[in-house]
Each structure stands twice: as structure tokens, then as C-alpha cells.
Structure 1
Amino acid sequence: MKIIPNALTDRGSKYAVSGGPVASVEEAKAFVKTLCRNKKFAKATHNTWAVLLPGGPVKNDDGEAGAGLVILRMLEREGLQGHIIVVTRWFGGVHLGGDRFRRVQDAVWIYLGEMGDG
């Protein structure tokens, strides 16, 4: 499990991004559950995630409508199979509107960049 705890901030909202290999929907859900054992992540406003699996794509918006699809499209573009990416947001008091999708994209790019470095 790779966690980038302070990936970015925007108008008070803070973002983290995490990921790792998973082979099934059950493993993906277990990954998020393990992440949320950390109280900081459990208290987050949203833990949105997506993964491309042999049985098809799986995503969860966790209340941030459309965010899982943003992650999924990026995974498809990169051809990254069997690897979950979770974008965590702590709401900072200011609604970001459409910019929230750009921040999700930015967080995924940060994660993918660090993957390439590692």
C-alpha cells in the first residue's frame, strides 16, 4: 500500500492519494477498509476509488458524485489493471464545483508519477 498523505490542497480542501495491487472486488474493498483503519482516513469526507479488474471496472464515488469515474478513465488511459487508486478528500468549507474533478485528476497524476519513480 502506497500512501501520499498530503498530495495537494485547494481552498481549504486537503487531498491524499493511495493505491496498491488488488485482484478482486473483495480485495479492493478490503484495501479501502484497511486504509480507513487510520482514523485520519476514516474521518475523511470522501474516499473515492476505482480499479480495472479482469471481470470489469469497479468504482465507488463515496458521495463525491462522478469522482470514481474520473479515476477509472485515468486508469483506462494508462492501461493500469489490477491496481486500486483511492483519492481521499477532507472538505475545507468551500465548494469547489467542477474544480473538484480536476483535483481528483491531479491527485491521480501525482500517484502515477510517484509510481513511475519507484
Structure 2
Amino acid sequence: MRVLDNIISDRGSKYAVAGAPCRDEAEAKKLLKELKRRKKFAKATHNSWGLLTEAGPVKNDDGEAGAGMVILRMLEREELTGHLVVVTRWFGGKHLGGDRFRHVQEAVRIYLEDLAASG
């Protein structure tokens, strides 16, 4: 899995983004389990993810209401099918309100740019 750590920090909350080629929800859950083998990611407050499959979109907010849909919308815009994207947040003690969606969007953008740059 490609992992970009410490990409965004706001009011104590920290964000990372990760992803990998993925065919379906079952594989997504295996990849998420693999990511959580890293102690830091296992202790995260939220591991929200989205995936566009041949059968349709799959997402999980992991307690960060609406985050999965933000990830899906960006994947749809890029027409990136068969690639799991996970946005991880470590809650810093202060509520971010609507800024949290902006940060999820920014994390996915950073991931997609890194993916494109690596060919």
C-alpha cells in the first residue's frame, strides 16, 4: 500500500492518506486490515475509505460522517475505478466542523497527484 503520512495538520488533528489497487469490498477490508497492522494507523480515530468497483461504489465513513462520500466523489471525478483510497485522521481534541471535509478532499487530491506523478 502506498502511504503518505503527516500530510495535513489542523488544530491538533493529523491526516494521512493511503491506497492500493483493489477489486472489491472484501479486498478493501483486507487492505485496511493490513494498514492497521501499523500501530499508528490502528490507533487512528477514523480510517474512512472509498472504492469504485465494477459492481458500483463502496465506502465506509468509520465514524467520520460523510467522509466516504467525499472520497467517492473525487474518485468518480477522476474516473479511478479499482483503486482503494483511505483517509486517516487522528483527532486532536478540537472539532473542525466543515473543515474536516476540506481536509479529506485535500488528502485525496494529494494522493491522486502522487499516484499520477509515479506513473
The TM-score, its normalising length taken from structure 2, stands at 0.98
User: In 2, Cα distance between the equivalents of 1:46 and 1:9?
Assistant: 15
Query: Are 2:31 and 1:48 equivalent residues in the alignment?
Result: no
Query: Are 2:21 and 1:21 equivalent residues in the alignment?
Result: yes
Counterpart of 1:106 in structure 2: which amino acid? E
Q: Name structure 1 gaps, 5 residues minimum.
A: none
- The count of corresponding residues between Structure 1 and Structure 2 is 118
Q: CA-atom RMSD, angstroms?
A: 0.5
Q: Name structure 2 gaps, 5 residues minimum.
A: none
- 1:45-76 Cα offsets, whole Å, 9 max, x none, are 00000000001100000000000000000000
Percent of aligned positions that are identical: 65
How far apart are residue 78 of structure 1 and its match? 0.3
Q: Give 3-state SS (helix, strand or coil) of 2:86's partner.
A: strand
Structure 2 match to 1:83: 83
Structure 2 match to 1:114: 114
Counterpart of 2:106 in structure 1: which amino acid? D
Runs of 4+ more than 4 Å apart: none
